[in-house]
Chains A and B, each alone.
Chain A
């Protein structure tokens, strides 16, 4: 189906008052709305019914091991960066029953759990998170084996992306090439502008169905000034990110430093708590658990998120392959930044900064990369040298 407005190039503007009309139009197409909302003083993702559930007027301060919500001076809808949760909790649930079995002692019968289809609209998905979603699509849908549960949950997802004009203190998506503006893979992308008395969204339709939804609300073609403001907000955001990583030849950097004293340094601090893997939007490792009811007449298998930081993860008869914290941290970071590229043709890190913020001792993936580089005699470059700002 071809829309009047075409895709990508043209920009449109909607007033803040039209935002809920946009949500209603999406809902009317049969999507369940999921979006950011505040619980226990953090931004989480949950069902929302409209803009009233968003963390309006809130911002966050993030640093290694620190997360605080602060009141903003304005009423921005999306004036915060990412919280501890990721959208993977909806599309790749942390617990999922794979099947049930019954037995009379000799015969077994296995009943598959039918994959549940969902039509989710992800409201406010950020550029780094879209990149993470594309990574999961590649892992779970591009074979050789695919995950039928992910496939069903992901079959029809409406993606209302929001560009980042308020990057967080631990963000570095710009270094990873995933943000602060979305490039592809969305239905609609918004850039929020709150300045003086103005409050509006620039809207970029990324698909035909996105363009159709836009038709349902009051909009106008963006003026040159509106577009310029959005562009400026996004280029400022590149510079305002709290972290920077130099990814030049990073795969080789990690591979040639598998035996580096720095890993022992980190191991002294790392608690092996697995927080970093839980909050990471791309981490996909899982385990399975088999159980039976008391009578033994029925059994089931459940898939659960797992972490390479646990000792069971690499257990084989006789002991874990990765006994030490050193080996586990090295596995994690080497997988993210190096072997992921060999496995899936992309980086395993999208620069969202969650693993830095939610590490209780503030271990920092970007610092680890600088430390390896400095140990090889490179000098740490300024952010301006990396971003070209």
Chain B
């Protein structure tokens, strides 16, 4: 049993920095407003972000787990709460609950090749995993990041991606659905990058985050390379109101995504993955 504090009570954080990533996506870096912050997080976990008077939404942590005091969240403005969040400025406060959910199996994957596959905003929840991998880079085999967005303008963390690309110990492939401007890179969906990506399918851990269709095709492509589903992890999304297993909203079959997920080993939910409207 966790401590007797009300688990629905947010802890206040203050915005240290707002970074505009793309037209609709922004990153907030936040520090505890008063005393201690929340407990440290694992890559792939999420927080519930409360915007005063507007509402609360689940957002993955996109920052470095080695710097747990500062919480970093990268959000795409799509609706009521996330649009209100986009209006926030430095020094304003928000309420945060967390961290919640399962995490990417980074330490479990030591010794393997690592393949990270991100679609759109799905790069944000994978970034902490990459930070953690790079922090102990020598303990892994090949490390590959495959990332797809709609257009070149939607690419997140551009500077960082360029720096990652320059590294000799990291393979970064970016693709867009539709080329615009002076894009000379790959055009096509992310799964199409998998056949030529350099990794040993028999000793790889793959972590995928993106829209469900993208994840489905990615899993197929990884299986075609000979990967077993026990080594493939996906991050799932459902409506969430409590994040503590009590409101019932996030159910996926017998599981609650807020506590059994969001990160699942693929074979565990394979049975549920292809069922319509589950």
Contacts and interface: CB of A to CB of B under 8 A. Distances in A.
- Among A98, A145, A286, the one with the most B-chain Cβ atoms within 10 Å of its Cβ is A145
What range describes how many residues of A lie at the interface?
35 or more
Interface string B238-263: 11011011111101011110010000
B181 interface: no
Nearest to B94: A108
Contacts of B278: 258, 321-322, 327, 331
B21 interface: no
Interface of A is mostly: mixed
Contacts of A101: 52-53, 95
A266 interface: no
A292 B237 contact: no
B224 to A, nearest CB: 26
Interface string B12-38: 100000000000000000000100000
Contacts of A301: 8, 56
Contacts of A342: 254-255
Interface in B176-194: none
A30 interface: no
B238 A287 contact: no
A10 interface: no
Contacts of B251: 331, 335, 339
Given A98-B8, A335-B251, A314 B2 contact: no
Interface string A100-130: 0101001110101001000000000000000
Interface in A270-326: 284-288, 290-292, 296, 299, 301, 303, 306, 308, 312-317, 321-324, 326
- Among B52, B55, B91, the one with the most A-chain Cβ atoms within 10 Å of its Cβ is B52
A261 interface: no
B95 A110 contact: yes
Interface of B is mostly: loop
B276 interface: yes
Contacts, number: 125
A213 interface: no
Contacts of B47: none
B39 interface: no
A146 B1 contact: yes
Nearest to B237: A316
Given A285-B249, A286-B241, A110 B2 contact: no
Given A145-B2, A342-B254, A286 B245 contact: no
A106 B238 contact: no
Interface in B259-278: 259, 275-278
Given A321-B238, A342-B254, A106 B246 contact: no
Top-10 shortest CB links A-B = A285-B248, A342-B254, A327-B277, A292-B53, A145-B244, A339-B254, A299-B53, A145-B7, A317-B78, A108-B93
5 contacts: A103-B52, A301-B56, A315-B239, A322-B278, A331-B278
Interface of A: 98-99, 101, 103, 106-108, 110, 112, 115, 139-140, 143-148, 258-259, 284-288, 290-292, 296, 299, 301, 303, 306, 308, 312-317, 321-324, 326-327, 331, 335, 338-339, 342-343
